[in-house]
Amino acid sequence: MADNYPYHSPMYAGQMLKPPHPLARLAYGLAMHINPNNHALDGGRASSQMEKEAVADLAAMFGWKRHLGHLTSGGTMANLEALWVAGQLRPGQTIVASTQAHYTHTRISKVLQLPCETIGCDDRGRLDPGLLEKRLKKGGVGTVVVTIGTTATGSIDPLPEVIDLQKQYNFRIHADAAYGGYYMVASSLEREARRSYDCLRHVDSLVIDPHKHGLQPYGCGCVLFRDPAVGRLYKHDSPYTYFSSQELHLGEISLECSRAGAAAVGLWATHRLLPPVRGGAFADNLDTCRHAALALFERITADERFVPGMPPQLDIVTWIPRAASPAAASRLSRQIFAAAAKLGLHLALAELPTRFFGAPTAGAPARKPRSGHEPTVTCLRSVLMKPEHFDAIPAIWSTLDRATRRALAQPAILSRRRQK
């Protein structure tokens, strides 16, 4: 297990990985001694009750007094369930999501045998409402997926505009807030983003991942439906479960059967210490992450050697090294990534549309775009999802500076050969 990146350290500033809170680890571990199963009350009475309470806390965070929902093994299962319900209510109709939506939406739609299409984004990685309307006019769209915090760049789709279109074109709205959902309680969002969060109460279904920003160990996603009546779609007859009582067994409203009750215990306990509400310590920590991202973005913007991507709407920063062409910038990104790792700073790489970085679109593209796809560039990406990142920005910056100087000192011929 020593063969891992130092996820706990603020110098790990790469992928979307955040260590669970010590309390969550402890509660999860203690519950494991009983190993409750939240499929049915027979398998875990206390942990099922804790799940109902913890899920109600999450629903309340979005302003929902009534809801139907439960925990899942993760965001993918939660999205599958939301789109499964959408497909039953809109049989055969198309699901649309932006080109920056999580890749699993396309795959999930295939599993559900529902048609799926993507809608283009603006230069900040947000679903373009103009292009959405163009598609809606053609008809046949049953569900629009809005992403509240895209996985690559943390961009917030313009939910108010999508809700306006809903009035005219009548479709379901599913919000994939697996990553960004908890920013609901933050107070540092820019106006545009806040508007979208404030509209979340109007969507039909919503997914949030407590194992991303919610300080939980893996195996903790959550799906919420605004209309509890969708519960009827789950109706089935099982001869061997649900004998113990007339109360709601979570397995009656869930696609999955056996699930770790320990995940509910971890989340419930964490909510006691750090309730997901505005103005609390949990919300403060999210604001600190966002300020870390803004601080890094500011330094990158002020440095001639870099071209920043869009200003962060949450806590993800993307940038490329300034170079003669996207191909050269991509090469340099990979060199800086490797040099930084050697110096103990762990960043991530991402393949994003060249236009996200404005100017340097001339010259050879990084990769030949597949037909129908736009040209991309390999960029550097940093997810600053630990509050400790804020105090570490000077250290992150000085290491990035050293790594960049090393990469720029490497002869280009050598690096090109290495690429082959």
Among the listed residues 10, 36, 69, 75, the single contact to ligand PLP using CB under 6 A = 75
Q: Residue 29: what residue type?
A: G
Among the listed residues 15, 151, 399, 404, the single contact to ligand PLP using CB under 6 A = 151
Structure tokens at 198: 């404030």
Q: How far is the CB of 209 from ligand PLP (least distance, A)?
A: 5
41 binds ligand PLP (CB under 6 A): no
For residue 207, the SS3 value is strand
Cβ proximity to ligand PLP: between 147 and 376 the closer is: 147
| Strand ranges inside 290-332, DSSP E | 306-308, 316-321
Q: How far is the CB of 279 from ligand PLP (least distance, A)?
A: 26
For helices 129-137 and 159-169, give the axis angle rounded to 10 degrees: 10
Among the listed residues 15, 37, 48, 76, the single contact to ligand PLP using CB under 6 A = 76
Distance CA 350, CA 329 (A): 12
102 binds ligand PLP (CB under 6 A): yes
x/- map, 104-143, ligand PLP, by CB under 6 A: x---------------------------------------
Number of residues that bind ligand PLP (CB under 6 A): 13
Residue range at the interface with ligand PLP (CB under 6 A); choices 131-139, 176-184, 238-246, 365-373 = 176-184
Q: How far is the CB of 395 from ligand PLP (least distance, A)?
A: 27
176 binds ligand PLP (CB under 6 A): yes
b/e code 134-169 from CB counts within 10 Å (16+ = b): ebbeeeebbbbbbbbbbbbbbbbbbbebbbebbeeb
Cβ proximity to ligand PLP: between 68 and 152 the closer is: 152
Bridge partners of 141, per DSSP, are: 94
221 binds ligand PLP (CB under 6 A): yes
Say how far residue 226 (Cα) sits from the centre of its chain: 20
407 binds ligand PLP (CB under 6 A): no
CA-to-CA separations, 133 to 161, 170, 175, 205, in angstroms, rounded = 10, 12, 18, 21
147 binds ligand PLP (CB under 6 A): yes
Residue range at the interface with ligand PLP (CB under 6 A); choices 73-81, 232-240, 254-262, 291-299 = 73-81
Q: How far is the CB of 234 from ligand PLP (least distance, A)?
A: 21
Cβ atoms of 252 and 234 within 8 Å: the answer is: yes
Q: How far is the CB of 102 from ligand PLP (least distance, A)?
A: 3
Q: How far is the CB of 83 from ligand PLP (least distance, A)?
A: 12
44 binds ligand PLP (CB under 6 A): no
x/- map, 355-394, ligand PLP, by CB under 6 A: ----------------------------------------
Residue range at the interface with ligand PLP (CB under 6 A); choices 7-15, 171-179, 194-202, 399-407 = 171-179
b/e code 89-115 from CB counts within 10 Å (16+ = b): ebeebbbbbbbbbbebbeebbeebebe
- What does 121-160 look like in DSSP terms, one character per residue? B-TTS-B-HHHHHHHHHT--EEEEEEEBS-TTT--B--HH
x/- map, 281-320, ligand PLP, by CB under 6 A: ----------------------------------------
> Residue 89: which of 204, 252, 218 has the closest Cα?
204
Distance CA 126, CA 112 (A): 26
Among the listed residues 97, 145, 156, 178, the single contact to ligand PLP using CB under 6 A = 178
98 binds ligand PLP (CB under 6 A): no
Distance CA 83, CA 108 (A): 8
Among the listed residues 14, 36, 43, 74, the single contact to ligand PLP using CB under 6 A = 74
Distance CA 209, CA 222 (A): 6
For residue 402, the SS3 value is helix
Residue range at the interface with ligand PLP (CB under 6 A); choices 23-31, 45-53, 75-83, 316-324 = 75-83
Rounded-to-5 percentages of helix, strand, coil across the chain: 45, 15, 40
Among the listed residues 12, 179, 182, 337, the single contact to ligand PLP using CB under 6 A = 179
> Residue 179: which of 229, 271, 104, 239 has the closest Cα?
104
Cβ proximity to ligand PLP: between 178 and 328 the closer is: 178
Please report, as ranges, the residues that interact with ligand PLP according to CB under 6 A: 74-76, 79, 102, 104, 147, 151, 176, 178-179, 209, 221
